[in-house]
């Protein structure tokens, strides 16, 4: 299956990306994975990243089938995490999403590989992210791609979605 190149998203992609989040929430809930909800990801989060130029998309047959946000904004909860790699040049992966019909085809790995290339090109030293501890797919993805699990957990939303944190040094 051939896919278009990963490209920057813009405001005209807003509704399609948000629909992708909603489709993903429904698909994960059917699997018993409750990582996202009506609070997150929000339209406000998406708008902020689109306006700043931080969201990237992958299309197939003209439709958005994957998206990821890449920036240097570390969540407040990251302050309590014991990171292995100290750096002022940290890129964070947020809201990686794959259309449910395209999951299991290596697209998450493709999006993370793109994120790593983007980080190198933009002179970041470390990539960080948090992943819902109850999602075995994301947990396995990051571990298999060489991400180190940091010490500590982040809690989001009510009733408290627990995430562990990963990081990877990409530049010495």
- Which CATH class for the 7-169 domain? alpha beta
More confident site: 159 or 160: 160
3-state secondary structure of 17: helix
- Give pLDDT, residue 42: 92
pLDDT tens-digit map of 143-154: 999 999 999 888
Mean pLDDT of all residues in 122-137:
95
- Give pLDDT, residue 159: 59
Return the closest-CA partner of residue 85 out of 147, 24, 144. Answer: 147
132 has which bridge partners?
163
- Give pLDDT, residue 158: 62
3-state secondary structure of 135: coil
- Give pLDDT, residue 148: 95
Sequence ranges of the domains in the chain: 7-169
Return the closest-CA partner of residue 121 out of 113, 109, 133. Answer: 113
pLDDT at 1 over 60: no
Q: Is the pTM of this model over 0.75?
A: yes
3-state secondary structure of 137: helix
């Amino acid at each position: 299956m051939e896919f278009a190149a990963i490209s920057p998203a813009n405001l005209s992609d807003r509704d399609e990306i948000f629909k992708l989040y909603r489709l993903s929430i429904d698909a994960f809930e059917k699997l018993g994975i409750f990582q996202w909800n009506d609070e997150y990801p929000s339209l406000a989060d998406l708008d902020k990243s689109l306006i700043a130029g931080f969201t990237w998309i992958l299309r197939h047959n003209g439709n958005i089938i994957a998206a990821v946000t890449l920036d240097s904004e570390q969540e407040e909860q990251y302050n309590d995490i014991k990171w292995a790699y100290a750096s002022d040049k940290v890129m964070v992966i947020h809201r990686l999403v794959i259309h449910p019909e395209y999951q299991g085809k290596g697209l998450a790995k493709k999006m993370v590989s793109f994120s790593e290339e983007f980080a190198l090109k933009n002179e970041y030293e470390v990539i960080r992210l948090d992943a819902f501890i109850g999602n075995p797919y994301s947990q396995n993805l990051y571990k298999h791609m060489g991400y180190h699990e940091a010490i500590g957990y982040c809690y989001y939303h009510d009733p408290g979605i627990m995430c562990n944190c990963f990081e990877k040094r990409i530049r010495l």
